[in-house]
């Protein structure tokens, strides 16, 4: 199975694959890849590792003698997975592209501060900065076990790490740093 290790350290592993075209096939392919990558990383048999997921709850990686945090993200042409041996994890990927209604998107989902920062940046930099802000928010929400929702004023206290990806993509990895707080 082909996968690329994008990040490894402090009990965290992030991998990427070029997925098959269908979403269902991409999901199955990524689950197989994360089992194989974790097996190599932890020097285990991949048959001893399984992915547990249920709608409305974060997925988990079941390991011999324990459970690891797990997160998935897909965009056309790239799928990512992150494993955290010591707790929750979130990962998100987004293609950098110009989005016509970026202002409404930012205001509704990223909050007033990010919206102001995006409005103040040069038009040529906005697609990249929007993708960075979006993936940071999505990764943090996944790490906190929350679903995407309109901005509610809650800042999630996560450690965010940019993950190197192929050109035209941005990805963020989030691990819990502390409690959430309202801003």
Q: Which two tokens stand for residue 168?
A: 């035209």
In Å, how far are 31, 61, 70, 123 from 177, measured between CA atoms?
A: 26, 21, 16, 33
State residue 1's pLDDT score: 65
> For 106-133, how does the pLDDT look when each residue is reduced to its tens digit (9 = 90+)?
999 999 999 999 999 999 999 999 999 9
For residue 179, pLDDT over 80 is answered with: no
Sign of CA dihedral 7, 28, 78, 180: negative
For residue 136, pLDDT over 70 is answered with: yes
Distance CA 151, CA 117 (A): 16
Question: Across all residues in the chain, what is the average pLDDT?
Answer: 93
Mean pLDDT, range 4-12, rounded to an integer: 94
Residue 181 CB coordination number (10 Å): 10
State residue 183's pLDDT score: 38
Q: Which residue has the higher pLDDT, 31 or 65?
A: 31
For residue 178, pLDDT over 80 is answered with: no
Sign of CA dihedral 74, 157, 180, 85: positive
> For 79-94, how does the pLDDT look when each residue is reduced to its tens digit (9 = 90+)?
999 999 999 999 999 9
**144 CA to centre of own chain:** 12
Q: Which residue has the higher pLDDT, 24 or 183?
A: 24
């Amino acid at each position: 199975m082909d996968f690329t290790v994008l990040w490894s350290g402090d009990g965290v592993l992030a991998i990427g694959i070029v997925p098959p075209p269908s979403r269902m096939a991409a999901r199955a392919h990524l689950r197989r890849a994360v089992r194989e990558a974790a097996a190599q990383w932890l020097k285990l048999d991949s048959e001893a590792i399984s992915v547990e997921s249920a709608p409305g709850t974060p997925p988990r990686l079941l390991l011999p003698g324990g459970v690891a945090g797990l997160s998935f993200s897909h965009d056309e042409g790239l799928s990512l997975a992150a494993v955290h041996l010591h707790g929750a994890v979130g990962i998100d990927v987004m293609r950098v592209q110009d989005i016509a209604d970026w202002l409404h998107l930012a205001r509704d989902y990223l909050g007033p501060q990010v919206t102001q920062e995006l409005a103040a940046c040069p038009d040529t930099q906005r697609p990249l900065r929007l993708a960075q802000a979006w993936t940071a928010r999505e990764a943090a929400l996944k790490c906190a076990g929350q679903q995407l929702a309109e901005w509610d004023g809650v800042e999630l206290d996560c450690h965010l790490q940019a993950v190197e990806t192929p050109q035209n993509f941005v990805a963020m990895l989030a691990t819990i740093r502390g409690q959430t707080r309202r801003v």
